[in-house]
Amino acid sequence: MQHSVTWKIGGEAGFGIMSSGIMISRAFARGGYHTFATNEYPSLIRGGHNVITVRVSSEKFESMNRDIHILVALNKQTIDVHKNELNENAIVVYDAKDGELAAADFLKPVKLLAVPLRDIVQKASGDPIMRNTVAIGATIAIMGAPFEFLVTVITDQFAKKGEEVIKHNMDIARAGYDYIKTTFPQEQSMYLSPAQKIEDQLIINASEAVGVGAARAGLKFAAIYPMTPINSLITFLADHAKSLQIVYKQPEDEISGINMAIGAALGGVRSMVATSGGGFALMFEGVSWAGMIEAPVVIDMGMRVGPSTGMPTYTEQGELQFIIHAGHGEFPRIVLAPADASEAYQMTVDAFHLADKYQTPVFILTDKYLNESTWCAPKSVFTKDVVIDRGKLLKEVPADFKRYDLSVPDGVSPRSVPGQKNGFYYANSYEHDETGHVTDTSAGRIAMSNKRLKKLETMREDVRPPTVYGDAEAEYTFVTWGSTRGPVLDAVKLLQAKGKKAKLVHYGWMYPFPVEETMKLLSPATRLIDVEQNATGQLASLIREHTGILIKEKLLKYDGRPFYPEEIIERVEGKV
Amino acid sequence: MTITADTFKTNFLPTWCPGCGDFGIWMSLKNALAELGIGTDDGVAVYGVGCHGNMYDWMKIYGVAALHGRTLPVAQGLKFANHKLPVMVISGDGDGLGEGGNHFLHAAKRNPDISVFIHDNQVYGLTTGQASPTAKAGFQTKSTPEGVVDEPVNPLALAITAGATFVARGFAGDGPGLTAIMKAAIEHKGFAVVDILQPCVTFDKVHTYAWYRQRLYKLEAEYVPDNEIKAFERAMEWGDKIPVGIFYKEVKPTSEDREAALVNGPLRDLPLGVTNLDELLKEFI
């Protein structure tokens, strides 16, 4: 009996690998388990090698672990590529028609479960592509769960295709389940310990979570040019545009996207863009303009491996410094970096609030790992009340209105929208006076620049200090940000299980940088370890820049694959 | 209060060179707006960067001084936010067809209800006289001392093929004629492009008012602007005889017409947030 099992399925792109992983996640999440799924695939539509890994546990966890307990191979390549990742006594499910396997083919002892995936599908008059459905049924049996776990999942998955398709898939999954139960009844080593269902969980990726957050925050307009890894946000917004009464527009390029979104913001609606580094490189000028004319706009910046086109379908945290500094000239901005899907939701809600409050660009720094991993997140997080406050957006405009009123103590002037009576002003790309007329006087420039930058000080009331996890007095103090929280948190737990004292200082609010809190938290630390998914330690640089604190020990990973907690442990213990 | 050309007066005086074609365009725009009853608070103009773009300072109507080349995306965003609001784009040949060329193509195919006025003088005046995308072959400028070697962009032909639903050419030296065209463009429901020929009195000693007056003629009264192919043929006329007038006009659903959300009124007036949250989250359970 296991409390946590990690399952991996691999096959050619187009074999339904992703949907298999999501269905397994959903089945166990509905059954009260915690799940998490990560995928790996090349930038191809068909023919490449695709895998999805799902961790299922009766206890809460934060990241993907490294060792695989069950490997389901829909082709021979899956065995070749992943055989060395297997845990001792792992189970390998394969079809002998893809090639016979022997124990000697593997580094560690494994249990080979030959399941005639092709024959089962053929017997049920199914298409060979439905082998994944047999595999899902077999998986449920191997993990000791009742077949009922799959029934509603399959029903929902194929609901749009009608009763016949649902029944066909159900029969094929059942055949896979029954095959394990009858052929390998003694194989119970991967049975999961029972879980208690406490509340409904969502099976959701962070891009979808951003979409839900945006919808709840009152998003009305989004202009997003397709790019990995933010495409599922496009799908979500486009699918729900009608019911949510929003406009999603696919622009001709990212330059157009950011300018459309700013135009809509000037027109009085909450608006956003999403992109990745290469696309964002085209948006600089627009972001700078938004800073100048004080337009509220939200930017979901999904990081992936760079520079340039890089490795488009792999993850990295390489854009922190880029986003903090992007755009010519000096203007205020806010940068938030969520750690999981729940935070991606909440930070999106916050981002729209902050954008309106401070009338300036706000970034949500996501990445491929967040956006394309399938998280298990409590539904209650997504249903909490959201208060929509449009800040100083005027309903009625007074007769003596000045859009860029310099007398405001917080740097944020009331704003009107075109069409409002008395609200006339210019949203001017040039330096301007209180009405928006151009100015290049010394006094005029200084006053308006000060007003804009005053917002950086006002933002202090909203700056969120880093979150501290683990032991107050610690031998190891890890420092990380955004999505690397999960693996480091699990690494902290592993160290604690060994009797060591460890803690994590995690940054979610990146900019304006929480200076004083950082001084307090990091100055007394004995062994500071910076953990980042990039090659240069960008958070460590930021900390150095703002506090003078130098973090010498850096644990960096930049091969496009997210950290495993086990490798963090090995590296801090000097085993690699 | 009656809206007249004076309604748009500000405390700023034009900084254009005396005799600049921009004056004529500015006057015609003010007259067109006044005749249509569109006052300071009733519409929004989006300006590009170039001599034309400086107009906003002496034009009292909601204004957006956008980045160079980016007028059309901004205008479309504004239009989506409130599709009841008249949105006008004041652009130039460099701004709209050089830096903003891709936006021009894609705006035209979407057909947003926006009118675009291109100040077309073949030069970049604000940067002291380099060749613009509409500069004709052989034209000597600061950036082409031996004469322009590339073929020019033809704004009308481009607009027609890209899908604009109102395509016209006006002349900065013909106030009443230009006012009428601008009025028709603003009234047109769809993407209206008006290419406005204007002399640059400082950096272009060839294409003067006299040069244009010798060549320009109005499209015949019997010309019906309902045929893309015929419009294209007329748009290709350039040389001793250059036609002005409305070349093409078509009524088609606009970009805004195709958005389900806008059926219930302007986007900015719609309720915010999610009404049926359980329904929205169903797909994730």
Quote the tokens at residue A172.
Answer: 């094929």
Q: What is the pLDDT of residue A526?
A: 84
Please report the sign of the dihedral spanned by the C-alpha atoms of residue A167, residue A172, residue A175, residue A177: negative
What whole-number distance in Å separates Cα of residue B203 and Cα of residue B104? 26
Please tell me the distance in Å from A61's CA to the nearest CA on chain B.
19
Please report the sign of the dihedral spanned by the C-alpha atoms of residue A245, residue B86, residue A394, residue A436: positive
Q: State whether A428 and B63 contact (CB < 8 Å).
A: yes
User: What letter does residue A415 receive in the DSSP assignment?
Assistant: B
Establish whether this prediction's ipTM goes over 0.95. Answer: yes
Q: State whether B259 and A269 contact (CB < 8 Å).
A: no
- Total Cβ atoms within 10 A of residue A182: 9
Answer yes or no: are the C-beta atoms of A289 and A297 closer than 8 Å: no
Q: Which among A26, A200, A259 has CB closest to B73?
A: A259
Q: Which residues from B are below 8 Å from A241, CB to CB? A: 259-261
What amino acid occupies position A542?
A: L
Q: Which among A270, A293, A437 has CB closest to B57?
A: A437
Nearest to B90 by CA among B128, B131, B57, B134: B57
Q: What is the pLDDT of residue A524?
A: 86
What whole-number distance in Å separates Cα of residue A125 and Cα of residue B55? 72
Q: State whether B64 and A286 contact (CB < 8 Å).
A: no
Residues of B numbered 141-170 whose beta carbons fall under 8 angstroms of chain A's beta carbons: which are they? none
Residues of A numbered 453-512 whose beta carbons fall under 8 angstroms of chain B's beta carbons: which are they? none
Q: What is the pLDDT of residue B1?
A: 76
What whole-number distance in Å separates Cα of residue B61 and Cα of residue B86? 11
Q: Which residues from B are below 8 Å from A297, CB to CB? A: none
Best mutation target, A424, A431, A433, A441, to test chain B (most B CBs within 10 A): A424
Q: State whether B63 and A259 contact (CB < 8 Å).
A: no
Beta strands in chain B (DSSP E): 44-47, 62-65, 87-92, 115-120, 123-124, 130-131, 166-171, 192-197, 216-218, 242-249
Q: For chain A, say whether B258 makes contact (Cβ under 8 Å).
A: no
Answer yes or no: are the C-beta atoms of A304 and A259 closer than 8 Å: no
**What's A512-557 look like in SS3?**
CCCHHHHHHHHCCCCCEEEEECCCCCHHHHHHHHHHCCCCCEEEEC
Q: For chain A, say whether B43 makes contact (Cβ under 8 Å).
A: yes
What parts of chain A have a pLDDT lower than 70? 44-47, 576
Q: State whether B73 and A427 contact (CB < 8 Å).
A: no
Which residue has tokens 């009308």? B156
Cα–chain-centroid distance for residue B261? 27
> For residue A48, what are the contacts with CB-CB under 8 A and spacing of at least 6?
A12, A13, A41, A42
The reply to whether CATH 3.40.50.970 applies to domain B20-251 is yes
Query: If you measure CA to CA, which chain A residue comes closest to B282?
Result: A202
Best mutation target, A429, A430, A441, to test chain B (most B CBs within 10 A): A429
What whole-number distance in Å separates Cα of residue B202 and Cα of residue B96? 21
Query: If you measure CA to CA, which chain A residue comes closest to B259?
Result: A247
Q: Which residues from B are below 8 Å from A264, CB to CB? A: 77-78, 80-81, 267
Answer yes or no: are the C-beta atoms of A466 and A336 closer than 8 Å: no
Nearest to B53 by CA among B19, B108, B16, B79: B16
Which residue has tokens 């970009």? B255
Q: State whether A267 and B85 contact (CB < 8 Å).
A: yes
Q: Which residues from B are below 8 Å from A256, CB to CB? A: 70, 72-73, 102-103, 106
Q: Return the bridge partners of A509, or none.
A: A336
Q: For chain A, say whether B260 makes contact (Cβ under 8 Å).
A: yes
Please tell me the distance in Å from A158's CA to the nearest CA on chain B.
12
Q: What is the pLDDT of residue A60?
A: 95
Residue A329 — left, alpha, or beta (φ > 0 → left; ψ -120 to 50 → alpha)? left
Nearest to A474 by CA among A438, A522, A539, A418: A522
> For residue A237, what are the contacts with CB-CB under 8 A and spacing of at least 6?
A211, A214, A219, A222, A224, A246, A248
What whole-number distance in Å separates Cα of residue B108 and Cα of residue B101? 11
Please tell me the distance in Å from B219's CA to the nearest CA on chain A.
34
Answer yes or no: are the C-beta atoms of A29 and A376 closer than 8 Å: yes
Domains of chain A: residue spans and CATH: 4-198 (3.40.920.10), 203-383 (3.40.50.970), 392-462 (no CATH), 467-572 (3.40.50.920)
Q: ω before B14 within 30° of 0 (cis)?
A: no
Residue A86 half-sphere exposure toward CB, CA atoms < 13 A:
27
Q: State whether A379 and B261 contact (CB < 8 Å).
A: no
Which residue has tokens 């928006």? A436
Q: State whether A215 and B273 contact (CB < 8 Å).
A: yes
User: What letter does residue B132 receive in the DSSP assignment?
Assistant: P
Q: For chain B, say whether A429 makes contact (Cβ under 8 Å).
A: yes
What whole-number distance in Å separates Cα of residue B72 and Cα of residue B91? 9
**Orientation of helix A206-216 relative to helix A341-358, angle to 10°:** 40
SS3 A396: coil
β-pair type (B166-171, B192-197): parallel
Q: State whether A247 and B284 contact (CB < 8 Å).
A: no
pLDDT tens string, chain B, 285 residues long: the values are: 799 999 999 999 999 999 999 999 999 999 999 999 999 999 999 999 999 999 999 999 999 999 999 999 999 999 999 999 999 999 999 999 999 999 999 999 999 999 999 999 999 999 999 999 999 999 999 999 999 999 999 999 999 999 999 999 999 999 999 999 999 999 999 999 999 999 999 999 999 999 999 999 999 999 999 999 999 999 999 999 999 999 999 999 999 999 999 998 999 999 999 999 999 999 999
Q: Which long-range contacts (CB under 8 A, 24 or more apart) does A77-83 make?
A: A77/A10, A77/A12, A77/A49, A78/A9, A78/A10, A78/A11, A78/A49, A78/A51, A79/A105, A81/A10, A81/A49, A81/A51, A82/A8, A82/A10, A82/A51, A83/A107
A191 phi and psi, to 5 degrees?
A: -65, 135
User: What strands, in cross-sheet order, belong to the sheet with A4-12?
Assistant: A110-114, A86-94, A68-73, A4-12, A49-57, A34-40, A374-378, A201-204
**How many residue pairs bridge chain A and chain B with CB atoms within 8 Å of each other?**
208
What whole-number distance in Å separates Cα of residue A330 and Cα of residue A335? 15
Q: State whether B77 and A246 contact (CB < 8 Å).
A: no
Please report the sign of the dihedral spanned by the C-alpha atoms of residue A244, residue A247, residue A253, residue A255: negative
Q: What is the pLDDT of residue A63?
A: 97
User: What strands, in cross-sheet order, belong to the sheet with B216-218?
Assistant: A426-428, B62-65, B44-47, B87-92, B115-120, B192-197, B166-171, B242-249, B216-218
Residues of A numbered 189-208 whose beta carbons fall under 8 angstroms of chain B's beta carbons: which are they? 200-204, 208
What amino acid occupies position A322?
A: F
Residues of A numbered 340-399 whose beta carbons fall under 8 angstroms of chain B's beta carbons: which are they? 379, 382-383, 386, 388
Q: Which among B73, B268, B274 has CB closest to A267?
A: B268
Q: State whether B273 and A388 contact (CB < 8 Å).
A: yes
Domain boundaries, chain B: 20-251
Q: State whether A204 and B85 contact (CB < 8 Å).
A: no
Number of DSSP helices (H) and strands (E) in chain B, helices first? 9, 10
Quote the tokens at residue A293.
Answer: 């004319």
Which residue has tokens 């409130």? B82
Q: State whether B261 and A217 contact (CB < 8 Å).
A: no
Q: State whether B67 and A259 contact (CB < 8 Å).
A: yes
Q: For chain B, say whether A292 makes contact (Cβ under 8 Å).
A: no
Q: State whether A242 and B268 contact (CB < 8 Å).
A: no
What is the DSSP annotation of A191-210? Answer: PBPP----S-EEEE-HHHHH
Residue B245 — left, alpha, or beta (φ > 0 → left; ψ -120 to 50 → alpha)? left
Answer yes or no: are the C-beta atoms of A529 and A498 closer than 8 Å: no
Answer yes or no: are the C-beta atoms of B78 and B70 closer than 8 Å: no
User: What letter does residue B50 receive in the DSSP assignment?
Assistant: S
Q: For chain A, say whether B1 makes contact (Cβ under 8 Å).
A: no
Quote the tokens at residue A545.
Answer: 């820049």
